[in-house]
Structure 1
Amino acid sequence: VFDYESDLANPRKGGIEGALLEPKYHAATLWISTISCAPFVVYLLVSGSAEASLILLLVLFAVVAYSAKHLRFKEIPVLDSFTSAVHFVGPMLFGLSLGHGNLLNPVVALATLAFMLWGMASHAFGAIQDIQADRQAKIASIATYLGARLTVRLAFASYAVAAVIVIFLPDRFAFAALAALPYLIVVGREFQITDETCESANRGWKRFIWLNFFAGAIISALLIGPS
C-alpha cells in the first residue's frame, strides 16, 4: 500500500516478488489488516508476560515503521536492513519469551545474533537489484548508499559470520551452519557486480525464494530431531 507509487516504476513488481494493489483497495486492505490482527494482539498482550508484550509491541512497530508514511525506515540506510531482520527475529524472541524461555541464555543470544545477521544480509542483497529503480524514484536504501559491489560483499560477510557463530552452538545445532552455504555461493557469484549491472542480482534473489525452503527444512529438522 505505502510503496505503490514507487513500485509502479519497478519492473520486478506485479508478481511473486511484489504485488501491485490498485489504489481503490488500499484503505480496505489497511482496515482489514488491522481488524483481523487486533483480537490476537490483544489476547497475546493480556496472556503474556511484560517482557513478551514489550517484544510483541516492538515487532509490530517495526512492521509498521518499515513502510508507513512519516516513518519509512526502509528508506534509512542500514536501519532498513536491521528493521527487516527484526521482522524475522522478533517473532522468534516473542515465542521464546511467551514460552518462558531465557533470552539471556548464551545459546539463545548466539542464535539470535546469527539470525539477525542472516536477515540483514538477505535484505541488503535483495536491495541491490533495485538500485537503479530506487535512485530514479529517489528512494534511499542500504544498497543505494553503499553501492552494489560493497553491499554484496557486506551481505556475503554477514552470511559467513552468521555461519561461524552457529558452529559454536551446542549439540546438533552446529550443523545449522550448513544452511548458509548455498547463500554464500549465490551471493559470491555477484562479487563483481556494479551499480550499472545491479539488476543481475535478481537471478540470485529468485534462487533465495527456493533456498529459504531448504534452509527452513534444515533448521526445522535440527529443532525437532533427537538430541
Structure 2
Amino acid sequence: MKHALKTWLLLGVLAGPLPLAAQDADSTSSLKKQAHRRIVFQFDNRYSIIDGKLVGINGLKLAVEWRGRLRAGAGGYLLSNGIPSQEEVPAHYPSGTRSELRFRYVAAYAEYLFIRSNRWELSAPLQLGVGRFFTNFTEPSGAQSKDTKSTVWLIEPSVSSHFRVFPWFGIGVGAGWRETLFVSSNLDETLDGPIFYGRIKLFLGDLYKTARFRRKLFSQQHFRYQE
C-alpha cells in the first residue's frame, strides 16, 4: 500500500505535461449562475498500467451535479485493446494460439469539487466498481474462446483538474490509483496500478451561448460576461 501511495503522489506531480488523450462532452453553462441540479455526461478515457503494461481504458460516465460542488453517478469501462498475456497458453490449444487479457467493469462514483471558478476546477473523484477479468484465446484458425472469468471489486481514488482556455474549451489532467478488493494475490498484483490522463474538455453549453450571442470565439472578454 505504501508503494501505491508513493506511485500516486509521483503521478500527481508528473501529470501536468502528459499529452492530451481524450475528450469530454460537458453540458456546463455559465459559471456565474449554477442550477441546483444538472446532468453531466463525460467520456472518461484514461491510461493505466495492467500486468506491467501501459494500456488505454475507455469509459463513459453519467452523473447529477448539485449546486456546482458535488457530482454522483455511474460509468462503464473497458480496455481499448487486449493485453498480451505473459502466462503460457494451456497445452490443449494448438501451437500459435495467442492469449490476451481482457478487463471490463462498471462503477458508481462521487466527486467533490474543492475549487471552481471561471477558469479553474479541482476535484477529488472516488469510484467503487465491480467487473470481470479473463483471458481470451485466439487460435491460428481464428476460433476464439475464453477462460473462466474472475469477478473483481475495486476502488479508485484520484484527483482531477482543468483550466478553461476559453469559456467553451479547456484542458485537464488527473491521476489516481486502482486497488482491487477480495481477489487472489496474483490477480491483485496484475490489476492494481496507477491511472492517469490528459484531456481536452468541450463545454457545449458555453459553445452554444458563444454562437447564439455572436461572441468572438477566441476572446478572453467572454469570461467577464454576466448571464
**TM-score (normalizing by structure 2):** 0.26
More strand by share: 2
Structure number with greater Rg is 2
The structure with the largest helix share of the pair is 1
